[in-house]
Amino acid sequence: MSQLQRIAIAPSQLQQGQILLTKEQQHYLVRVLRLRDGDRFIAMDGKGKWWLSQLATEQAQVLQPLTVETELHVSITLMVALPKGNAFDEVVRTCTELGVACIAPVLSDRTLLNPSPQKLERWRRIAAEAAEQSERAFVPTILEPVAFNTALSTVNSHQSSVNSQQYICEGRGNFPHLRYCLQNKGQESIVIATGPEGGWTETEIENAIAAGFQPVSLGRRILRAVTAPVVALTLISANFEV
């Protein structure tokens, strides 16, 4: 079943058991994927629902809803200082594969560049593609980049209402390994922050601690800014995998 081709649809396209396909989707199914009338594929709404569907010219017939079991039972938000150049593309792609729910790019004291608005569109497209390819039910949300302190206060007001844990990764300093800090006692939400090239400043770490974040290490070797989020996501996903 999971070997079938998958396409993302908007929930509004599903009406009375039929999927009204856009011209682009018709082109993709028929010209690119070479499906014919009667062939099956999976329609996913990016919000947790998959449907086994059958192509019928300009629309598709929904055969049955599918149960997707590729999602974690915890919502992981990655707060990540924007790295140089295009390196963030790969962070978005890989962390989507690893089950992230929300990516919050932040501008830290040592971040060099403020990205253009086109970047945000690009990251969202990459997240949607990676969600399809890794067979996820959800497409992660990518927030607009904001200053690190702004992100801290937003998280702080939001997370206090749910069963949540917040961590900030720091390569230097003698902090406990994330592995020993993760619990698995019905957490609904985890926020993990990883820093820029050169690391967080001392003030940033202090502000994060004041906002309820626990400082943690990802091991004794110094990781690049693009490696740290992948390592953090891997450890959290594995901890909560059912």
By the criterion CB under 8 A, which residues form the site for a second copy? 2, 69-70, 94, 97-99, 133-136, 172, 177-179, 219-224, 227, 230-231, 234-235, 237-239, 241
Amino acid identity, position 141: T
DSSP code of 75? E
Q: Which is nearer to a second copy, 27 or 73 (CB)?
A: 73
Vertex 233: Cα angle to 165 and 207 (nearest 5): 45
Q: Which is nearer to a second copy, 96 or 189 (CB)?
A: 96
User: Least distance in Å: CB of 186 to a second copy?
Assistant: 19
Contact between 76 and 187 (Cβ < 8 Å): no
DSSP string, 110-150: T---PPPHHHHHHHHHHHHHHHHHTT-SBPPEEPPPEEHHH
Q: Where are the beta strands (DSSP E) in the chain?
A: 6-8, 14-15, 18-20, 40-44, 50-56, 59-66, 75-81, 102-107, 141-142, 146-147, 164-169, 189-194, 214-216
DSSP code of 2? T
User: Least distance in Å: CB of 84 to a second copy?
Assistant: 15
User: Least distance in Å: CB of 105 to a second copy?
Assistant: 20
User: Least distance in Å: CB of 27 to a second copy?
Assistant: 25
Q: Which is nearer to a second copy, 36 or 185 (CB)?
A: 185
User: Least distance in Å: CB of 165 to a second copy?
Assistant: 17
Residue among 76, 79, 89 at smallest CA distance from 149: 79
DSSP code of 187? -
Q: Which is nearer to a second copy, 145 or 215 (CB)?
A: 215
Q: Which is nearer to a second copy, 21 or 178 (CB)?
A: 178
Gap between the Cα atoms of 242 and 235, Å rounded: 14
Q: Which is nearer to a second copy, 15 or 133 (CB)?
A: 133
User: Least distance in Å: CB of 3 to a second copy?
Assistant: 9
